[in-house]
Amino acid sequence: MATNAAHKRLTREYQNIQRNPPPLIDAHPSESNILEWHYILTGAPQTPYEGGQYWGTLIFPSDYPFAPPSIMMHTPSGRFQTSTRLCLSISDFHPKSFNPAWSVSTILIGLMSFMNSEEMTAGSIGGTPQERKFLAARSRWWNSTGGGSASKPVPGVQARSKGLSLGNIKAGDGGTKFKAEFPEVHQENLAWIEQHRIDPATGRMLPDEEGQEIHCSPETKALRRILGGSTGVGAVVQGGQAARYAGQGWIWRQKLWIFAGCVVVYVMLARIFGEGEGIS
């Protein structure tokens, strides 16, 4: 239970965030416990996380702000282990270095800054830029579905024991906790999943039906490049031809021109040597 000082401080900080929300950050306390905060970081432009939706929790101690919160991120990012306490100078791993003047906004801005760096610490992982882009592209799907089907392993979703609670997030909950904390964002995610034909069970893009006319937005085209998917039967055929073409060597692709060149060279050499024999 929060002390009166902690309750007043966190209430004031929530009011400040509502009035002046930090860029790319959304955060609020749980209705049932002011010490439990939920946040969403939007991936910064020109980073592998661009457009990603990263959900996590801050668990504050009862004597906040004289001690720091624990920090976890639940959405797979390729940067942090999911639902695992992160060792940062602003987290409960380093209580002596925490400054009581730091606010919730300061903590989340610091988390985003660390996320965009390559510094390693407890709870960090070294995913490749391609892996991070892939996870960013389907982060909305992951948040609002709990990682797809709980009965089948899904790439990018950590396997957990059934019913295990991790930082107040039950693994394989089908997005229940996220929906409860961010109902409006959840509805936006569902509309986004339907708009871009994301398979709810796997997070991959569904193939288009034969004869279906698709008008892809730049975002949809980018998602298709990252997540996979086609734009109709014609695109599949063209894609297959392009793949075969790319796999062929330069000599094979230019075989007709090479053959013609060989014939010309042969004829020229034959004339030269023929004229030489006539002179002798």
DSSP assignment of 84-149? -----TTSTT-GGG--TT--HHHHHHHHHHHHTS----TTB----HHHHHHHHHTHHHHHHHTSS-
Residue-wise pLDDT tens digits, 173-231? 778 899 999 999 999 999 999 999 898 888 888 887 665 555 577 888 888 888 875 43
Give burial (CB, 10 Å; 0-12/13-18/19+) of 133: buried
Clarify whether 87 is annotated catalytic: yes
The CATH number corresponding to 4-206 among 3.10.110.10, 3.30.70.1230, 3.30.365.10, 3.30.565.10 equals 3.10.110.10
DSSP state string for 171-192: TT-TTHHHHHH-HHHHHHHHHH
Question: How confident is the model over 38-87, as pLDDT tens digits?
Answer: 999 999 999 999 999 999 999 999 999 999 999 999 999 999 999 999 99
pLDDT value for 161: 36
Domain ranges of the chain: 4-206, 240-279
Q: What is the pLDDT of residue 279?
A: 53
**Mean pLDDT of the chain, nearest integer:** 80
Whose CA is closest to 133, among 81, 56, 77?
77
Q: Between 14 and 275, where is the model more confident?
A: 14
Q: Is 266 exposed, middle or buried (0-12, 13-18, 19+ CB in 10 A)?
A: exposed
Say what the pLDDT of residue 275 is.
Answer: 60
Kindly state the average pLDDT of the residues 130-144.
Answer: 95
Chain position carrying tokens 């024991």: 161
Q: Is the peptide bond before 68 cis (omega within 30 degrees of 0)?
A: no
pLDDT top residue among 244 and 80: 80
Q: What is the pLDDT of residues 7-41, one digit of tens each?
A: 999 999 999 999 999 999 999 999 999 999 999 99
Q: Which of 24, 25, 87, 166 is catalytic?
A: 87
